[in-house]
Every structure is written in C-alpha cells, then in structure tokens.
Amino acid sequence: MSKSHRGHTPMLPIVVLISGSGSNLQAIIDAIRDDGLPVEIRAVISNRPDAYGLQRARAANIPAVVVDHTAFDNRSDYEAALQQRIDQYTPAMVVLAGYMRILGAAFVEHYQGRMLNIHPSLLPDFPGLNTHQRAIDAAVAAHGASVHLVTNELDGGPVIIQASVPLLVEDDATTLAKRVQTQEHHIYPLALRWFAEQRLSVKAGEVLFDQQPLNQPVHFNSDTDAT
C-alpha cells in the first residue's frame, strides 16, 4: 500500500463494482479528493457496458472496465472472469456500489471478509429489491441504508454502519430513495475510512471495531459522526 498524501495512513486499495449510476462511487471519489479519504480506487468494473458510473470513473482517471455478464454462458464462467479481472488490481477490499447481481458461493468465499456492500434498507429489514416501496407499504417509522460485509446469505452479512431517515406521509419510493441515498453517500466513505485506518477489521468472520467485537451496527448521525 502506498502512503496517503495527507498523513501516515496507508492508502487502502479497492476495486469498485457497479451496475448503474454510480452515485456511491462518486461519493467515494469525492471523499478521496475533498476529505483525504485514504483509499485508492484501482479500478471500477461494471457488468453493464452502459452504466453511467463508468463515465464517472473515466472522469476521475480511474480504469473503467466492463465484464459483461451477457457475454458468458453461465454464472460461474462470468464470475471466474470477473474474479480474475478484479485480482489483477490486487485490492485489499472489493466494494459493491449498486452492483445488481447475486453472487455465487465460490466468488463470495474468495473475497470472504474483504467484500462490502451497501444496501438501501435498515437490515435485517427488507433484503432484496424494491426496498423503498416495501418500507412504505409496511408503514415503518424509519427506513435507511446499511453497509455490510458480503456473505453467502443475500444481504445477510454482518452490518457495520447504518443511517436512518424518517418515513414522511408524503413520501413515495422516489423521494424516499433520494433521502436514503444522501445518507448512503455519508456512510460508505466513512466505513472505508475506518477500514483504511484499521479501526475496522475482520478476524475469523467477526467484525472488530477499535479492537472490540462489533456487536451491533454503528448508527450514523450526520451531526456528530461526520469525520
């Protein structure tokens, strides 16, 4: 790992996987540029050639790579190619940022303890898709986003940090998604900072925060935790 330009924290090398807009990718790029986030994005890889996030990567001089899942006969061939491509960049962490494909067991196993995902709900509530509409339909008091380690259980790995937003009577899925995404853009860079600073680590599947077992997710409060 190379030294960060600001301090003594080594840069955490990551590869970011996307499928779409890449606003979380952009939040990480911005935090590196503006807040000294000690992270080096070695590549952005998309399974979709038209993902807008690829343009964001190119604009930031980050290698933008397509591994198009439709070009493969089956998932295991696709994931083997994806894994090979990721590993060329020797990342310490693989960061799923709106990557919208379910991953197979061998792939998840290969990155065990070093693959993160951001999910638009307060896990364990609403794993899977359409989380905002489901939260509205369930009339929850609060909704939000979670950063978690990826395991073989869909959206089920240990949660590191969550941020919540209240559900408003006038909310529809679009307005709610927008407020949740604003929170996502805080908590993903923050979780990466903690990994880079080695405040967060994973040992034998257990998440440690400041050397203590993380028994429940950190709850992000933008007024107090914005460092």
- Does residue 103 touch ligand GAR according to CB under 6 A? no
Q: Where are the alpha helices (DSSP H) in 2-51?
A: 23-35
60: left (phi over 0), alpha (psi -120 to 50) or beta: alpha
Residue 119 falls in the annotated catalytic set? yes
Q: Report the residue number, 4 or 164, with the smaller CB distance to ligand GAR.
A: 164
Distance between CA atoms of 100 and 182, rounded to whole angstroms?
19
- Does residue 157 touch ligand GAR according to CB under 6 A? no
- Each residue 166-185 as x (binds ligand GAR by CB under 6 A) or -, in order, gives ---------------x--x-
- Does residue 144 touch ligand GAR according to CB under 6 A? no
- Does residue 118 touch ligand GAR according to CB under 6 A? yes
Question: Under rule CB under 6 A, how many of the chain's residues touch ligand GAR?
Answer: 15
Q: Where are the alpha helices (DSSP H) in the chain?
A: 23-35, 52-59, 75-87, 105-110, 131-137, 173-196
Distance between CA atoms of 224 and 211, rounded to whole angstroms?
22
Strand order across the 212-213 sheet: 200-203, 206-209, 212-213
Q: Is the dihedral of CA 157, 214, 99, 83 positive or negative?
A: negative
Q: Report the residue number, 11 or 17, with the smaller CB distance to ligand GAR.
A: 17
- Does residue 119 touch ligand GAR according to CB under 6 A? yes
- Does residue 120 touch ligand GAR according to CB under 6 A? yes
Query: Which residue in the list 5, 110, 119, 148 is annotated as catalytic?
Result: 119
Among 29, 97, 192, 200, binds ligand GAR (CB under 6 A): 97
- Judged by CB under 6 A, the stretch of 21-29, 38-46, 73-81, 216-224 that binds ligand GAR is 21-29
Q: To 5 degrees, how large is the angle CA 159–CA 87–CA 81?
A: 100
- Does residue 21 touch ligand GAR according to CB under 6 A? yes
Distance between CA atoms of 27 and 190, rounded to whole angstroms?
10
- Does residue 164 touch ligand GAR according to CB under 6 A? no
Residues within the interface to ligand GAR (CB under 6 A): 18, 20-24, 53, 97-98, 118-120, 145, 181, 184
